[in-house]
Chains A and B, each alone.
Chain A
Amino acid sequence: MARTLVIDLDRCSGCDSCVVACKFENGVTLGNYWNTVVPVVPVGTHPDIDMYWLPLQCQQCVNSPCIAACPTGASYRDQENGVVLIDKDICQGCKTCLPACPYSSPEGNVKPSVRWYNEEANVVEKCTLCNHLTATSDGVENIEDTTDPAHAVPPCVHNCSCKARHYGDLDDPASDASQVIAQAEKDGRGVHLVEAEGATPVARYILSADIAAWRGLGV
């Protein structure tokens, strides 16, 4: 079970529509962002430059350091489909998970952290892959009914203005996410992940060399 987002950076134009779609769907408060589109700013000197945008959200790590560090068991893995989630009723806002997550800022209050501290609710929040819509979905959207539980996708995927975002279980070859990776590899387009010491992210990013040279988050 490896449900995740696969994002095609050849297409992503950094328009932030995914950020707003997520906020409306999940009622995310002002100043908190369950995903952030990071502009990986150009290297080289004008006009010989390249650049790309990298939408960063919870990477659904296989070794999930957040679950390992969470003292109360609020960070857990969904029994049926293995998605890494946070149970709002159990979380006490102790923020122990924040230093544990390589993709989060220690206080969960500055971009591009993937986990955020919600002050009003005193809980830590993050992208849930809209599990309330997609728990049993293969990510191949049903045009006739976008709420079809077998095919629904998160609103950030549905509304993406470039069709860059794909959802699915990488263990299911028929899922949209798996298919887009397979096609990218066939087309010789690079399939990357955002390396981080001690984490094994499931999220994948597709980027062709002729658009830009891969450099993760621009480190």
Chain B
Amino acid sequence: MQDTLTRRSFVKAAAVAGAAITMSSALAGCFNESKEPEPSGSSSGGRDYYTSICHGCIQACPCKVYLQDGVVVKIEGHPDAPTSLGSLCLKGLNQIHTCYSPRRVLYPLKRTGPRGAADAAWERISWDEAIELAASKIAEAIEKYGTYAFFCSVGGGGAYSFMQAMTLPMALGSPTVFEPGCAQCYLPRIAVGGYMYGGADQSIADCAVLEPFKGLAPKEAAKGVTQDTKVLVLWAAQPSVSQTAQSGRGMAELRARGCKTIVVDPNFSPDAVKATIHLPVRPGSDAALILAWYRIILDEKLYDEEFTKFFTNMPFLINPATKLPWLATEVFGADAQTTDPNTPVYVCVDEGTGQVAPLPFGDPAAVKAQVNPQVLATATVNGAQSRTAAQVYRDEADPWTLEKAEEFCWVPASRIRAAIDLYAGAAVAGIANGVASDMEETASQVPVGLVGLDMIMGYVNKPGATLTQNNALPPEGSPRPTRFWNGFGGMFGQMYGIGYEVGATEEANAARIAAIPEVWDPSMQSPPFMNQSTLYAMNQLLLDRLGMKEHKGLYEWCHSHIPTVREALETGEPFHPRVWFDMSGNKFAVLGSAGAWYNAIMNGGADFIICQYPMITSFQVEAADLIFPLEEWLEATGASEFGQLNYRYPSPGIIHLGETVPNSVPPKRVCDAASLKLNEKLGTVTFGATGKSMEEMGIQFPLGLGVLGGADSEESIWQSQIDTYKAVPGAENVTTKEELLEAMKNRPDFYLPTPPEEYWTYGQHLVKAADGLPLGFATESRKCEVYAQILIKMGRNGFPYCYPREQAHIDSRLGSFGGDYSPICNVPIQKEAPQVANGDQYLGKYDPDFPLAITSGRVYYFHHGTMRHAPFTRELYPAPHVRINPKTAAEYGIANGDWVEISSRRTQGTNYDPSKAVGTELSYSGTKEQNTKTAEPIRGIAFVAEVVAPGVLWMERFWNPECYDSSQSSKTGGWQESNINVITNAVDPNFNEVFGSYTNRGFQVNIKKSSRPDRVWFEPKEFAPFLPENKNEYLPDDIGVTISNKALLTEPVAFPVAAGGEL
């Protein structure tokens, strides 16, 4: 049972059909202040509370929701929650103003005006009409252009429609789905965790790292659960801001208990302010800093020698030709394979004899009797000069002395040394790796380096470490651990058989594929829907996935490469995705180079766009043709897996407005309706690029499992809540929604704990396996692969994802490790960088038009695209702050509080002289001319303080819903005025080799003094139109929303007088 239903938790949650996951990411609000500001809360008096769980960000804080006369009047943190301990941040509190916001979409809306915000107009239609419209548009496009004409997209953590968005396109035969996060957020780290040891990764935000927050709650400590983390490294992460009341509260408790922290962040974030050591690294130079750590730790033998020698692949001798470890059988013949074939024996240099010797897997004591592998060594094997993996790493790290790191990363050498000593000197420590590294050219190199550091220090599956598993220990005699691949921990592998089961032998994998029947046999137990034609079709969907030839790491979630999808919309090559179903908030706020996407859509890139969201955002007002209204989390019945650490909390729908539905309903109903239409034409519908008809392929709609996690109605979702929370004492005979709400009313203890011993578990790899050896790890070598050998094969043929078929080899100019994906941390060329002393060989050409480095990060007030409409938030943070060092501000004549304009290659500057441009860049894919201007420069407010280094800027993304409010005389979409994603780089190719991540952080900009943009609200009183009205009538005209047709607004909501409603 996982902490919170983030993308990662799906890995834990079994692929349960119908495990309806509903939630919408935006939050809610309450009623307007009456004239006389009476305190709204009388101490008790007539108020019931229900236990629920906030979905205000990527984590989930349990809370108590107080209801008076059917209206939510107060929300507070649940005091019994193990990490948040009663905290609830302003994102949770503001749910009242979002759920009751006058800007809510409460009915299906069809666009009646032209696309674009300027004169957008909507018409209310019924649910049946809306589903019919969506299904017919999809069916027409698929019938006319083939199954690849349809595609989906979804939002990041907090959107919770991952399963629907990923499985709906596959169900309708399309390979195209994407999420602005994914390669730019969490995919790299979760994938690398799997590649290197088949275990949980280093993300705090996505609740992979939970160990530090163990034992904080008094009731847990009373059960003897101790708090063991004493040293924690926050690399590119700021939990106090991004997960304010959960991990943020956890960090406050940790620091109060004496835990020392090292924070690596260009910005002086709150976690950096409270850190024992802060390393303000230059944006984009993290990889070099990591290599400086390796260099010292390897040279001074600070690593855990036994773990490194016997549980990692660092001592393996690497074949220079294949870049893969030598197998003992290749050197010593077949009989050197002394262990089970699924546990290959590799080769090392024996420290005692200095000779090349076999290195079998096994219990360190037993193996030590046979061979004592040398970590750093070079030897001749089969005539080839071979280095150990550790030696390869050491040679890569060679240039990165502390002095060179100080010069390149702008961090004082003394601080780097102090951080290494604190990290390596601790009894146990752990690294938490945040999202920033996912958004840079080094998106694979940084997590590989950081997970590798924890591994050579032996900080794995230990109390106090960050690489821990938080699930019940496998029983003794369990089989050798293996791992399935493709889509959330191998979900597609398990469902459709695609993908190589890493840790199993080739023979076992081949046998598994061969055993799949020609036609689906209902009697087969699992996986269901398994037949050769479905397998072939699904495998084709992987091979045809846009951008996957180059960036095969995206197969981890089976998401397409976003810039390649955009180019497909622009050019129709290699195929043209036309009908788009987006299941998120605001694509124009969160997609990199948002202007390029706007241009692609407005130039006819997408024929019909379907959206589902509780509000109208920039994307809907500019581009949506049809909007399904979704519930806010106060209305939405969530799935049963929500919780915090080892406690599960209910997520009941407490109130309901208009005709909103959970986010799992529209995808399922659209899929069923479209399938019905298309199954009548299986002869004429062609399956994507194959040219064959569905009939010839022997498949029908919906393909495979259909929409995973889809639900026909809210009732089926309630059932999962009821089935789960029947287990709470006193709720045994609950059968209906009303009974469940009644059972939990005013009960402080309505949650389900998991016993600590089944959650806080360690030493998984030491449990004795069936073959008598320690279980080890779910990798090819059964060890921690600090040298991520799987990445070498992946770049060449898509191993393990595309098995049994093969994907083409990557373009060798792209592979930073001699044409292959780098299996270790290295320093690829940073496309856009400031002038750095002696850094030329690692940096792209310096462009004097854009001299300043910019990076970004979250602020407390928002989560992704949410909360820009919440008045109590916008009055505190009306516009984005641009953090500037006083020296830089002085150079540009900028004072604290000035409006400033920021431009990059994607916008150039209002005084950017193209003739001065440094000339078109030779992109790696030929001499493609890079006219990368896609939008106008953006604006923010200067916050001048010593919180960033000279020459470095920092800014959070932003968008302005007020820009298309009908109170405006002229309207824009509100995504261009102050949105850093307009200037980020997803068009000028220098994507990360493995995951295709484009650059949201660490690129070059220019800045100058400017003025407040038109239409943007700034003074607190200006946000009054966003305050809930609670009037028992349709919304009056003067409040104005983008909806021109008054009839389709809020249905009368019975707000009693006590809650501010009028008689």
Contacts and interface: CB of A to CB of B under 8 A. Distances in A.
Interface string B862-892: 0000000001110110000000010000000
A29 B34 CA distance: 9
Interface stretch (B114-122, B427-435, B781-789, B943-951): B943-951
Interface string A107-134: 0000000000010110001001010110
A1 interface: no
A15 interface: yes
A143 interface: yes
A16 B39 contact: no
Given A13-B270, A159-B77, A27 B34 contact: yes
Interface string B219-251: 000000000000000000000110011001100
Contacts of B64: 146
Interface in A70-89: 88
Contacts of B319: none
B252 A13 contact: yes
B280 interface: yes
B41 interface: yes
A212 B268 CA distance: 13
B1030 to A, nearest CB: 13
B1061 to A, nearest CB: 15
B1019 interface: yes
A120 B244 CA distance: 33
Contact of A211 (B245, B274, B280, B411): B274
B274 A10 contact: yes
- Identify the interface centre among A23, A144, A163, A164: most chain B CB within 10 Å of its CB: A23
B1029 to A, nearest CB: 14
B882 to A, nearest CB: 15
B30 interface: yes
Given A24-B872, A132-B42, A143-B79, A88 B36 contact: yes
B39 A26 contact: yes
Contacts of A49: 268, 946-947
Contacts of B40: 24-27
A205 to B, nearest CB: 16
B927 to A, nearest CB: 41
B861 interface: yes
A164 B860 contact: no
A16 B860 contact: yes
B449 to A, nearest CB: 22
Contacts of A63: none
Interface stretch (B86-94, B293-301, B649-657, B737-745): B86-94
B41 A133 contact: yes
B145 interface: no
A47 B35 CA distance: 49
A45 B946 contact: yes
B90 A163 contact: no
Interface stretch (B129-137, B526-534, B845-853, B1020-1028): B1020-1028
A42 to B, nearest CB: 5
A147 B44 contact: yes
B37 interface: yes
Given A52-B273, A118-B37, A20 B945 contact: no
Nearest to A29: B33
B74 A25 contact: yes
A109 to B, nearest CB: 10
Q: Which bucket holds chain B's interface residue count? A: 35 or more
A159 B876 contact: no
Interface string A195-208: 00000000000000
Contact of B248 (A10, A19, A162): A162
A152 interface: yes
A194 interface: no
A27 B88 CA distance: 18
B1 to A, nearest CB: 23
B321 interface: no
Nearest to B1023: A30
Given A42-B945, A47-B278, A130-B39, A15 B89 contact: yes
Contacts of B38: 27
B946 A163 contact: no
B240 A162 contact: yes
Interface in A127-167: 128, 130, 132-133, 141, 143-147, 149, 152, 155, 158-164
A120 to B, nearest CB: 6
A49 B43 CA distance: 44
Q: Which of B34, B39, B411, B949 has the most CB of A within 10 A?
A: B39
User: Which of A49, A53, A128, A141 gathers most chain B CB within 10 Å?
Assistant: A49
Q: Which of A45, A152, A212 has the most CB of B within 10 A?
A: A45
A14 B245 CA distance: 12
Interface string B12-47: 000000000000000000100111111111111000
A149 B43 CA distance: 8
Contacts of A31: 875, 1019-1021
B37 A26 contact: yes
**Contact-residue size bin, chain A (C-beta under 8 Å from the other chain):** 35 or more
Contacts of A42: 268, 945-947
A164 B1023 CA distance: 30
Nearest to A157: B86
Given A27-B33, A28-B37, A45-B946, A146 B76 contact: yes
Interface string A1-23: 00000000011011111011101
Given A42-B946, A141-B86, A17 B93 contact: yes
Interface in A24-83: 24-31, 41-42, 44-47, 49-53
B273 A212 contact: yes
B249 A162 contact: yes
B96 interface: yes
Nearest to A130: B39
Contacts of B36: 88, 121
B80 interface: yes
Contacts of A41: 945-947
Contact of B871 (A26, A30, A120, A125): A30
A160 B946 contact: no
A13 B240 contact: yes
* Residue in A132, A146, A158 whose Cβ sees the most chain B Cβ within 10 Å: A146
A47 B77 contact: no
A159 B87 contact: yes
Given A49-B946, A161-B87, A15 B256 contact: no
Interface in B890-949: 945-949
Contacts of A50: 273
Contacts of A19: 90, 872, 876
A163 B37 contact: no
Contacts of A44: 946
Contact of B244 (A30, A51, A130, A161): A161
Given A159-B245, A211-B273, 10 more contacts: A14-B860, A24-B30, A24-B93, A30-B872, A42-B268, A46-B268, A46-B946, A133-B41, A158-B79, A161-B240
Interface of B: 30, 33-44, 64, 74, 76-77, 79-80, 85-90, 93-94, 96, 240-241, 244-245, 248-249, 252-253, 255-256, 268, 270-271, 273-274, 278, 280, 411-412, 415, 748, 860-861, 871-873, 875-876, 885, 945-950, 1019-1021, 1023-1024, 1027
13 contacts: A13-B241, A17-B93, A20-B94, A24-B96, A30-B1023, A41-B947, A49-B947, A51-B947, A130-B39, A132-B39, A133-B43, A146-B76, A162-B248
The 7 closest A-B pairs by CB, nearest first: A31-B1020, A13-B270, A162-B252, A20-B90, A27-B33, A15-B860, A27-B37
